Amino acid sequence: MSFMGNDDVDRDARLSPRARFAGRGVLVTGSTGMGGSAARALAAEGAHVFVVARNPDHLTNLTADIEAAGGRCTTHSADLRDEEAVEDVFTAAIHVLPRLDAVYSVAGISGRRFGDGPLHEATLEGWETVMGANATSQFLVVRAAVRRMLDQTSDGNGSRGAILTMSSTLVAHPEPTFFATHGYAASKGAIDGLTRAAAAYYAPHGIRINAIAPALVATPMSRRAQDDEAIRAYLADKQPLARGPIDVEAVTDVALHLLSDDARMITGQVVIVDGGWTVSEPRR
């Protein structure tokens, strides 16, 4: 674990002008790609971020970046498919964070290398691996977050906390040629259902739960697609606002809005960030 040692005055002077998360505790799962981007942005806006990932080296690098920029970061290495490990994560988090104000559950995988693919070709190992890493891990993280938030008093806006899960545009807008990973789509669909059902149940308790559903984003997980010339040509038309893969910071901007008080009246929504995917067709 790592704690920011800079003087509070120096740190506050280096915050983003908005500082929507000043004095708040935010737990983020995932230390590269969208998770890493969000952790850096949250810290820049004043949050004490608690970042969870499997790879200790990635966590070390992320912490160094955040602290060098004047932010505050604590890290914890864990396999989020493991129930006991997730409980340990949240026990550790509530001991170091001022309060569990928000949770951004990003971590997940693409199961192609494990046997995910078109249904007639997909293996049981591929299905179980991607469901475990995506749907089961989200269930465990959201459950643990809700349990802790229920024990918190409401803040000045009547909120006990905000949770944001990670879905995908492929749930409702599949692409059969280049992205035929049916287990992946099913795992993300499960996340949509969990998010909406939980949001309805916990809204009276002051807990907001939303999902963010990106199309193809320029992250380490999407490297195969980014390096494929045919896919890049496809994305130039399919994601015309980005003219290719979506920049990770564009997703982070939406995520921070949903986690902040700016979105205090938003819950139960799956917010699509797709660069135009759902309203565009590639040229033939």
Residues tagged active-site: 184
- Residues 116 and 128: their CA atoms lie apart, in Å, by 9
- Check if the beta carbon of residue 93 is closer than 8 Å to that of residue 18: no
Q: Which is nearest to 21 in space by CA: 53, 1, 50, 59?
A: 50
CB atoms within 10 A of CB 20: 17
- Residues 197 and 199: their CA atoms lie apart, in Å, by 5
Q: Which is nearest to 136 in space by CA: 29, 40, 3?
A: 29
Residues in Cβ contact with 134 at an 8 Å cutoff, skipping those fewer than 6 apart: 108, 109, 184, 187, 188, 190, 191
Helix, strand, coil tally for the chain in percent (to 5):
50, 15, 35
Q: Which residue has the tokens 């999902």?
A: 211
DSSP string computed for 161-213: EEEEEE--GGGTS--TTT---HHHHHHHHHHHHHHHHHHHHHGGGTEEEEEEE
Strand partners, 26: 49, 102
Single-letter amino acid code for the residue at 26: V
Which tokens in the block code for residue 200? 């309805």
